Structure 1
Amino acid sequence: MGQMQIKKAQYLKGAVKKEDCPRDGLPQIALAGKSNVGKSSLINCVANNYKLARVSGQPGKTRILNFYMMNDKFYLVDLPGYGFARVSMEEQEAWGDMMNSYLTSNETIALIVHIVDIRHAPTQLDIQMAEWIRHFNMPVAVVATKADKISKGRWRGQIKDVQSALGYDEKVPIIPFSAVTRQGRDELLSVMNEFILAHRQN
């Protein structure tokens, strides 16, 4: 299988409700993670366009689903970050409702990329997200961002801790990733390609 190349990437739209989401049937790869985990940097790195997704100085500002069209063939979907402290219970519930609506009965999701910070043990919210993904029986891969911030010798131990805390089995890929050094980009593209192909065959 050849390496997937991203030759075209563009921001398509933001959606608040399920009805606003694209309905063209193209596969979607959804990015789930805490609001300061580096989702925008990951999108920009994958797309080879460092201006595509705005990196917000204020975590938790993204309250909508943002759709990025890749190669006119699939979407990267930036899900609203979880775990922002300065929002009301009402807003947190609205986030839950939006996620629930997006994840249920959505047959175009080929993969959820669960993004965590490699430097720290997964939080209770990360663990809840993993439980949610399992509850919906979604295909999942884990990306452990900010790998450039710790020595390479620590990656293996940290990844083992992530796997254990989140309760994912050996089949779930866990990729050390850095938007700065582009570590893990090719591996992530290969995993995405694999799940898109599998999704099309279902």
Structure 2
Amino acid sequence: MLILRCRFITINLAPLRPSHFQSHKLFHTTRFFRTPNLISTPRITSSSLPTTRSISDEARFARSVLFIPPGVEIEELTDDMVLPGSNIVIGPFAGHSQIKQVEFVKSSARARDCPKDDLPEIAILGRSNVGKSSLINCLVRKKEVALTSKKPGKTQLINHFLVNKSWYIVDLPGYGFAKVSDAAKTDWSAFTKGYFLNRDTLVCVLLLIDASVPPQKIDLDCANWLGRNNVPLTFVFTKCDKMKAAKGKRPDENIKAFQQIIRENFKQHPPWILTSSVSGLGRDELLLHMSQLRNYWDQ
């Protein structure tokens, strides 16, 4: 049994049942990045191995539960290669993760209006009031780089922030219960999907999941759509500092429930990480994960 630890939460991921290696109900993304010259990590199958060998239970477990980036062989995995509070393995492309400079570039109402300088982008998406702007401010360690508000749906455009003059953080409109007109919600959905489908510089989407509430169907539907359209994603659990819930289940229980749904529906486990914009939990680890995605994309 593999135990993934962080400062606040310990999640036990039991080995998956054999059926979980064979089927998935939501999606299975075989690509790490949206790039024409992608080199996929070789898939080990029983037919590709000598008849005298079989895939070990440990290898099956690792491949199905951990996010193993290019350049890492399953046989080389060690405990210290897995980021705390995540299922993310750090490989040779990780590095240069710290943010030294950030500046707002522009807001766009359509994907075709976004910057055209071909720099890699990591987009941040989630339900309204999930903490997108707070996470961005935490990552860059500057207050109000991204506008925060207690009113859900404050972000209504595609906002580009240039980081270290070499890549972008993209703040996307939230989905869900934003208090705007139905027409505006439809427009948001249309231009956000247009961004995903037509943005060649998109490296990955950070799909934020609120750990303070039980798993939401709308989040799973969003993940399903991204998967069907081969958009790489990482689940980022937010508000993990709120260990005592006013009502309902605690965040660690909600996270375990979400993990169970993922294990039942995904053939290979997407990367996920625990964060808190209040305590800074997971900040450095998430930046390191983002760095290996960008650096591999640049190859």
Per the normalisation by structure 1, the TM-score is: 0.91
1:130 is aligned to 223
Provide the rounded CA distance (Å) in 1 between the counterparts of 2:119 and 2:181. Answer: 34
1:165 is aligned, of 261, 264, 270, to 261
Q: Is the 8 A contact 2:133 2:147 kept in 1?
A: yes
Provide the rounded CA distance (Å) in 2 between the counterparts of 1:53 and 1:61. Answer: 10
CA distance change for structure 1 residues 48 and 168 in 2, over 3 Å: closer, same or farther? farther
Which structure: greater strand fraction? 1
1:66 is aligned, of 134, 152, 159, to 159
Deviations 1:122-161 (A, max 9, x none): 212111110111011111111101111016xx76654332
CA distance change for structure 1 residues 109 and 72 in 2, over 3 Å: closer, same or farther? same
The answer as to 2:292 corresponding to 1:194 is yes
Q: Is the 8 A contact 1:111 1:140 kept in 2?
A: yes
Provide the rounded CA distance (Å) in 2 between the counterparts of 1:35 and 1:114. Answer: 12
1:82 is aligned to 175
Per the TM alignment, residue 169 of structure 1 is displaced from its structure 2 partner at its CA by 5.2
Q: Is the 8 A contact 1:28 1:76 kept in 2?
A: yes
Identity across matched positions, percent: 38
Provide the rounded CA distance (Å) in 2 between the counterparts of 1:12 and 1:168. Answer: 36
CA distance change for structure 1 residues 56 and 192 in 2, over 3 Å: closer, same or farther? same
CA distance change for structure 1 residues 85 and 172 in 2, over 3 Å: closer, same or farther? same
The answer as to 2:133 corresponding to 1:20 is no
Which residue identity does 2:292 align to in structure 1? E
Q: Is the 8 A contact 2:129 2:150 kept in 1?
A: no
Structure possessing the higher radius of gyration over alpha carbons: 2
Number of aligned residues: 199
Which residue identity does 2:261 align to in structure 1? A
What is the DSSP-based 3-state SS (H/G/I as helix, E as strand, rest coil) of the residue aligned with 1:46?
Answer: helix
Per the TM alignment, residue 98 of structure 1 is displaced from its structure 2 partner at its CA by 0.6
Q: Is the 8 A contact 1:155 1:176 kept in 2?
A: no
Q: Is the 8 A contact 2:148 2:154 kept in 1?
A: no
Structure 1 unaligned spans of 5+: none
**RMSD of aligned residue pairs (Cα, Å):** 1.8
The answer as to 2:150 corresponding to 1:43 is no
2:14 is aligned to none
Provide the rounded CA distance (Å) in 2 between the counterparts of 1:3 and 1:158. Answer: 33
The answer as to 2:296 corresponding to 1:185 is no
Which residue identity does 2:282 align to in structure 1? G
Which residue identity does 2:136 align to in structure 1? I
Deviations 1:10-65 (A, max 9, x none): 11111001221001000010001011000111000100112211111211122101
Structure 2 unaligned spans of 5+: 1-93, 245-249
The answer as to 2:146 corresponding to 1:53 is yes
Per the normalisation by structure 2, the TM-score is: 0.63
Q: Is the 8 A contact 2:234 2:270 kept in 1?
A: yes
Q: Is the 8 A contact 2:212 2:242 kept in 1?
A: yes
Bigger Cα displacement from structure 2, 184-193 vs 169-178: 169-178
Q: Is the 8 A contact 2:276 2:282 kept in 1?
A: yes
CA distance change for structure 1 residues 134 and 141 in 2, over 3 Å: closer, same or farther? same
Per the TM alignment, residue 78 of structure 1 is displaced from its structure 2 partner at its CA by 0.6
Provide the rounded CA distance (Å) in 2 between the counterparts of 1:92 and 1:51. Answer: 25
Bigger Cα displacement from structure 2, 86-95 vs 52-61: 86-95
1:116 is aligned, of 199, 202, 209, to 209
